[in-house]
Chain A
Amino acid sequence: MSEDFNDNKTIQAQSSETISGGGAGVTPDTDYVRPAEVADQDLYHGHSFITKWVFCQDAKVIGVQYFLLATFTGIIGLILSWLMRLQLGFPGAAGFMTAEHYYQFVTMHGMIMVVYFLTALFLGGFGNYLIPLMTGARDMVFPYVNMVSFWMFFIAVGVLLASFFVPGGPTGSGWTLYPPQAILEGTPGSGMGIILMCVSLILFVAGFTMGGLNYLITVLQARTRGMTLMRMPLTVWGIFTATVLAMLAFPALLVSAIMMSLDRILGTSFFMPTILKAGEMLEYGGGSPILFQHLFWFFGHPEVYIVALPAFGIISDLISVHSRKNIFGYRMMVWAIVVIGALSFFVWAHHMYVSGMHPWFGFFFATTTLIIAVPTALKVYNWILTLWRGNIRMNTVMLWCLGFIVTFVNGGITGIFLGNVIVDVPLSDTYFVVAHFHMVMGIAPLMVIMGAVYHWFPLVAGRMLSEKLGKLHFWFTFLGAYSIYFPMHYLGFIGVPRRYFEMYDSPYVTSAVGVNEFISTAAFLVGAAQFILIYNIVVSLRIGKPAGKNPWKANSLEWLTPTVPPEHGNWGDKQPVVHRWPYDYSVPGAKEDFIPQTTPPSEVVDTEVEKT
């Protein structure tokens, strides 16, 4: 914009053309950044254990709380997946496992991992911790609401887990909770289980809305001086866009959860058609099960990107820092995030090809689905071009980044298979689908989370994690995850259906049995390998190498706080002033290979910094 208006003195002095004379362009105005628009934030400082660590209003503590609770829930999801794999690989090995239990575990595993683990961890965990720090804000804009958000999430998790202990157990209708079977007798957990699931989701959405408003307004209205939109780290862009998606997609989940519970409790027929059960007409009649599918997937597809977009953003920053290069095509990356987010609202019915639909309808949704591949592929190219001729540091964080790219490309390509109606119809409800979504929205975001943990742990704890254990953890997880999900593509091609408790004497048995045993063994190992990380964290908290300030030599603001780990209020007396984007790595002519965002232009006049 500066070409059009020529009004920003900072940008002029920064541009390499004007300052190539060697400092001649420096005037008292060179480092000018206009004053703050908004008065310094009024913060409530906790002064007791309860207000400092339990009902705390500091976004960083709330972020850690979200992280820990989401991880705890995730471990329950992991244990459920072990039990499922035990049954699939070695039928009957777990004596207590009935078909009902299996379906309950499938359901709870899916719902926990997608909503209560990944969404809560990326937006609640990383969002809370990183947004204020990366934008230079003192805290989230509504700290009290933010605190309530976490405790709503806490109650939602409590209600969800309570369903394990009610008569009939948790719902076993699959994580999609499709009616009519979700609330009909015969489906496990059709009594209290499904009601608690709906209540828990409603609470989650309410709590998330409180947090989401905080993330959005902090990014929109509370950035520090000099932090323009195009100087924000991609992490912030990813979390911000994902939050927008969540604010617009969760309403559909809320509405479907309300209508489903009314169908179950009051006997309304929103989703329930006329049903004949065991020769007896049920009270229900005239509702539309397909309506539920539309509502659910109008939430469900953006949900995929609610998980993926923060992962995209975080991985961009990690790759840039650890290959000491500016992110390739920053503006392209920003617009790709925004475009993917917008498109994600127009693809939901590709989850419903087998529900039966007008061919033109399927055609429309196949087209929009494939269009998403364009900005997504663009991002992958840009990650690779960022690595290209970079000064790559092959540390644990970088390993997770590379693992992510490989896994994501793999899962993305199978997505193109499934986005086409005629390919999807035979592959639907086979293990190919399971392999696809676990690769693309299970393992790939998980790799990002792991990379992010190794990257930001020094900031949160002030100590480094062990690299040795980190690499061990990575190789086990990466190779193990491939051993699990790669063979599943094959199982899908030979037609092994998903969601089956046991294959019994079906013709698939001969070729699928060995593969299933192999997959299960790998699953046990990968799951166990995650405890390396927990061990690493626990040990490093006490005896890890002190991190000091800015151990990765990164540019973005979270590493530039006066104290490490940052205190409440983040910035001490004065908020930082930003002069550049966070990607000035390996700038020709600069003394060091990184120029932090707060470095004023007068200090880098002899370098060829980007104009940002």
Chain B
Amino acid sequence: MSDPKIEGYEFKPGYKGMARDTASDQTMFKGVHWGKAMMWIFLLSDTFIFSCFLISYMKGRGSTTVEWPNPSEVFALHVGGVPVPLLLIAIMTFVLITSSGTMALAVKYGYERNRKMCGWLILATALGGLTFVGMQAFEWSKLIHEGVRPWTNPFGAPQFGSFFFMITGFHGTHVSIGVIFLSIYAYKTFAGHYDEGKRGWFTSMKGNYVEIEILGLYWHFVDLVWVFIFAFFYLW
């Protein structure tokens, strides 16, 4: 990665140069948009939230005296009478990761001022997110149908249901919020708000394509968190 061009400022090499650039006046991260810096720090905080959830889950699972349900049986789908473990989750994960790809493309086309492509790709991302949430709703109802509740389940330790619903629910909320914002941003892109710099309804700040990249950061983060939830719930 090359250093951004800053008028009147020269970057210096090595660790001492890095310390000097970091402690210099005006900005610590040269050329980084305020909103982007904010999103990174928010995501760091959010990482701590998910870490607390997952560590609690590990503690809960590790210390329970009742046997933990076998994930490959509990989460299996029956296709033509044959149980296929992790089938639904594999599709869900695939859809979500794919939506990360469309998001990245949307950012690229946004910066290229290709309004139409950018808008369609954001819409595709939103659709991917919606599909994910839909499949999650299906999985939840399947488990609820089989008798799994937050306080009990027929397969073993009651904490299984508690942690599963809480953590996937918290993640699903993140995805849903993302879908809502993606839809709004898709509308704003098609309407040309980012090209004209139209002022926002709430914040009255000028629109800019960088907003799409900021939302993209959030979206990639939500996908990344899913990978961890996937590993800890379905593969452990």
Contact = CB atoms under 8 A, between A and B. Distances in A.
Interface residues of B, number: 57
B168 interface: no
B45 A247 contact: yes
A259 B19 contact: no
Interface in B109-133: none
A563 interface: no
B44 A226 contact: no
B151 A269 contact: yes
Interface size class of A (residues with CB under 8 A): 35 or more
Interface string B48-80: 110111001001100111100000000000000
A37 B6 contact: yes
13 contacts: A5-B12, A144-B203, A213-B41, A221-B28, A247-B41, A248-B44, A250-B45, A251-B52, A255-B49, A255-B56, A268-B151, A286-B65, A288-B59
B1 to A, nearest CB: 18
B23 A230 contact: yes
A221 B45 CA distance: 18
Given A222-B26, A254-B52, 10 more contacts: A1-B19, A34-B8, A35-B8, A37-B7, A217-B38, A229-B23, A252-B52, A258-B166, A267-B151, A268-B158
A144 B202 contact: yes
A201 interface: no
Given A262-B150, A270-B159, A141 B34 contact: yes
Interface in A232-258: 247-248, 250-252, 254-256, 258
A142 B34 contact: yes
Contacts of B64: 286
Contacts of A185: none
Nearest to B48: A251
A374 interface: no
Contact of A34 (B7, B53, B151): B7
Interface of A: 1, 4-5, 7, 33-38, 42, 44, 141-142, 144-145, 209, 212-213, 216-217, 220-231, 247-248, 250-252, 254-256, 258-259, 262, 266-270, 283, 285-288, 291, 295, 298, 578
Interface in B7-29: 7-10, 12, 16-17, 19-20, 22-29
A141 B6 contact: no
A557 to B, nearest CB: 13
Contacts of B205: 42, 44, 144
B42 A213 contact: yes
Contact of A35 (B7, B34, B46, B48): B7
Contacts of B163: 270
Given A38-B27, A142-B34, A4 B20 contact: yes
Nearest to A226: B25
Contacts of A213: 38, 41-42
Contacts of A252: 48, 52
A37 B26 CA distance: 7
Contact of B37 (A221, A291, A295): A221
